[in-house]
Amino acid sequence: MRLKIPCETIKRVSNPLFAAGYAADIASAAVAIAKRMGLSSAAAVSAGEGLSVGVRDREVETLEHHRDKVLGITVYDGQRKGNASTTDFSAESLSETVKAAARIARFTEADPFAGLIDPQYLAKDIPDLDLDHPWPIRAEEAIALALRCADAAQAADTEITQIDEAGVSHYRGVRAYANSEGFAAGYMASRHSINCVAVGARAGAMQRGYWYSTARDPTTLTDPETIGRQAAARAVARLGARKLTTRKAPVLFEARLAIGLIGHLLAAVSGGNLYRETSFLRRAAGTQILPSFVSIDEAPRIPRGLGSAPFDAEGAQTRDRRLVDNGVLTGYLLDSYSARRLALVPTGNAGGAHNLIVSEQGADFAALLHKMGTGLLVTDLMGHGTNLLTGDYSRGASGFWVENGLPAFPVEEITIAGNLRDMLREIVATGCDFDLRSTIRTGSILLAEMTIAGD
């Protein structure tokens, strides 16, 4: 179910903190000051405002109004670089900030790879990607939504003993970029969410369950009652969790966690890790890194997409591309600096990837459980035990032991371990149960085998 928002709430739109054109003008003004000083430069502006509320035990625990703005300027004195920033957009402050960046540049060491992106890669068109959907919800309305979420979770099951938090947040902001090559553009974007953490108890043991919804457009958020009930169901399902003995078995990452697995791949093919040679996938372009039935596409211009952007953080054009084609890595994620270091061309990924989509073979979650037969379903991970240089992977985990394609009992206090290079190659299936709450769109992912460390 989707959140139903009264028409009067949608109509009550306050003026944005800044318009995209005004933010681009501010960035351009800073660049013009640097140009008069004989320096090439680039300036970025970000600004926005929002609200977040959280309730606990039917009492308001947090209520925060957010308002932020900053301009960052980078100047180049030859191949020496200086950075400075300010939250004051007055003409005097912009001038002082540019001068501060110039002073820093004079004392830095020349870097042969430093400089602005080549103009040929700059965005030539700035499409409207429908990213801006204001939600001018008042604090009391947000609190009411959070209470509905908490009440639904509390009422969902008698074993729910408390609601750690039910929260609602909204944010709307602007991003703009300008440089001395003549580029100047900006765009507005919004992001809103509802979340809930429920706690269940049985025989003196307690378990937490978490669920949430996030979207550009508030009308597409899941309704708070559904979120509360889902958080409660996840908490109750984990009650009675056991440990496992150490073994090797197939592992199924539910879609929410499969996002992180693909995230490790993206980090390994990102320019900074590649030129520093801190990635297990260095020099892997053109080689098989995934099974031949898996492809990964980047689609930066999906309307309302959480990872959508008309240009990247240095003004480069964002374009559709196939990052992995039938298991073969076709290239890397590069900004202009890492591209120069690697003697390659920038890919429009300054600031990261945009809407990565993992291919699927038509299997839903139930079909993936059936395909696994017996193994571990992972629903939560703890810790950061990933070595990007070697690919070694070890994380605390909890979830469910699966037998005959069905969850048999919940498990906790285990560790799953492997090597990312092997894990990626040994993917057995990717599901169609896409989680759309991230910049990475993937279903659940089934691996052939991992080491499970327990008792």
**Residue 11 pLDDT level (bands cut at 50, 70, 90):** very low
pLDDT score, position 383: 85
- Which residue(s) pair with 446 in the sheet? 252, 429
Residue that is last in its domain, among 237, 258, 280: 237
What CA–CA distance (Å, rounded) separates 407 from 389?
A: 35
Same domain (yes/no): 75, 209: yes
| 91-120 residue pLDDT tens | 999 999 999 999 999 999 999 999 999 999
Whether residue 267 is contained in a domain is answered as yes
Percent composition of the chain: helix, strand, coil (DSSP 3-state, to 5): 25, 40, 35
Residue that is last in its domain, among 220, 237, 254: 237
| Of 19-23, 199-203, 278-282, 313-317, the least confident | 19-23
Whether residue 405 is contained in a domain is answered as yes
Q: Is the pLDDT of residue 172 over 50?
A: yes
Is the CB of residue 160 less than 8 Å from the CB of residue 200?
A: yes
Q: Is the pLDDT of residue 214 over 80?
A: yes
pLDDT score, position 362: 93
User: How open is the CA angle 227-354-336, to the nearest 5 degrees?
Assistant: 150
| 290-327 residue pLDDT tens | 999 999 999 999 999 999 999 999 999 999 999 999 99
Same domain (yes/no): 139, 225: yes
Which residues are CB-neighbours of 66 under 8 A, at least 6 positions away?
48, 49, 50, 51, 52, 171
Take residue 73 and report the two structure tokens written for it: 């300027």
Please give the average per-residue pLDDT across 328-349, as a whole number: 97
Same domain (yes/no): 365, 420: yes
Q: Is the pLDDT of residue 235 over 90?
A: yes
Same domain (yes/no): 387, 287: yes
**Residue 379 pLDDT level (bands cut at 50, 70, 90):** very high
| 408-446 residue pLDDT tens | 999 999 999 999 999 999 999 999 999 999 999 999 999
What CA–CA distance (Å, rounded) separates 375 from 449?
A: 9
Q: Phi/psi class of residue 323: alpha, beta or left (left: φ > 0; alpha: ψ in -120 to 50)?
A: alpha
Domain that holds residue 421: 241-455
Whether residue 2 is contained in a domain is answered as no
What CA–CA distance (Å, rounded) separates 241 from 120?
A: 57
Give me the phi and psi of 53, to 5 degrees please.
Answer: -130, 150
pLDDT score, position 2: 66
pLDDT score, position 5: 57
| 355-374 residue pLDDT tens | 999 999 999 999 999 999 99
Same domain (yes/no): 253, 233: no
Q: Is the pLDDT of residue 12 over 50?
A: no
Same domain (yes/no): 204, 287: no
Q: What is the number of domains present in the chain?
A: 2
pLDDT score, position 196: 98
| 117-164 residue pLDDT tens | 999 999 998 999 999 999 999 999 999 999 999 999 999 999 999 999
Residue that is last in its domain, among 197, 218, 237: 237
- Encoded amino acid at 370, one letter: H
What CA–CA distance (Å, rounded) separates 215 from 212?
A: 10
